[in-house]
Amino acid sequence: MKIAVVLNAAAGSLLGRTIPEEVERIGRILREAGHDATVVAESGAAVVPLIEQAAASEAEAVIVGGGDGTVAAAANRLVDTGKALGILPLGTLNLYARDLGMPDEIDAAVQALAGGTPRKLDVGEVNGRIFLNHSILGLYPRIVEEREETRETLGVRHWRVSKWPAMAVALLRALRDYPLLSVTLVADGRRRHFVTPGLAVANNAYDDAAYLRRSRLDSGRLALYVAKHRSPWHMVRLIVAIMLGRWQRDEALEVLELEELTVTTLRRRLRVANDGEVERMTPPLRYRIRPGALTVLVPATAEISGEPAPSMTGTAA
């Protein structure tokens, strides 16, 4: 198979490593598995043009190394193209890669992709923007923005360890103010109004009793989660429950599964965190599921369902 690999050199797992050596080793592993591979690396926003070039190339698969934001950028350019997306989990959470059953260690992940199986999996979409994990409104996007501002202020933006202390500071600030969002949701012919600290739309439902894990990525359904917690302390309890994998038992959390959803509000612009990347979007926000729209390289040993994609020439056994 002809493979183009794009690495985000600023990804957490690559910090402290010699990037040319990583580029050479990843390429060697793929070539030893019988693939025609090219590997390039850049940092931050400079990765996006490389992803665009790879998507427009003759490569049958594009492997991206980075966090969920880098992966989402690649998905937006590969959806509906038939080219397979491969993921090297190099970020902090790596939620989508974890659901695919990707190993955490870089060499093991490259080897898993070298023998991976292409599967057609679902994606979520909001106003034309693709997301693989979830799209979140309300408290969380504000926390992410304040986290980055805190890291800038402290001058530690490029320190991997700085992300969690900065997140804690941002969370405390957001809980102190505790802004509520007034929205109207239209789904399945029903119109409902909520005043909420936050809501999330997930690409396929999260499993019960698990920390943001999905065993299915091809159900053809979105999952809507609306928090109805009026007290910041009740919201803290929900956050702790999420970390413990008990969050879906919260009586103040409404959960629905659907194929389409429209979110309206009186606000002119909304902060929206799509796979962790915050954007300002103009309502109404129109969500939909796009079944099987993205071809993804899945480890042969992974227990992930999904319609097999057409076989690709030269794929290693």
Residues belonging to the active site: 277
Name the residue with tokens 């320190």: 159
Say how far apart CA 283 and CA 291 lie, in whole Å. Answer: 24
Say how far apart CA 69 and CA 94 lie, in whole Å. Answer: 9
Say how far apart CA 317 and CA 315 lie, in whole Å. Answer: 6
Closest to 235 (Cα-Cα) out of 178, 275, 273: 178
CB-based burial, 138-158: b 16+ in 10 Å, e otherwise: bbbbbbbebbbebbeeeeeee
Say how far apart CA 112 and CA 293 lie, in whole Å. Answer: 22
Cα 185 to chain center, whole Å? 23
Question: At 93, which amino acid appears?
Answer: L
Tokens of 112: 């898993």
Q: What's the maximum distance between 2 C-alpha atoms anywhere in the chain?
A: 57
Question: At 258, which amino acid appears?
Answer: L
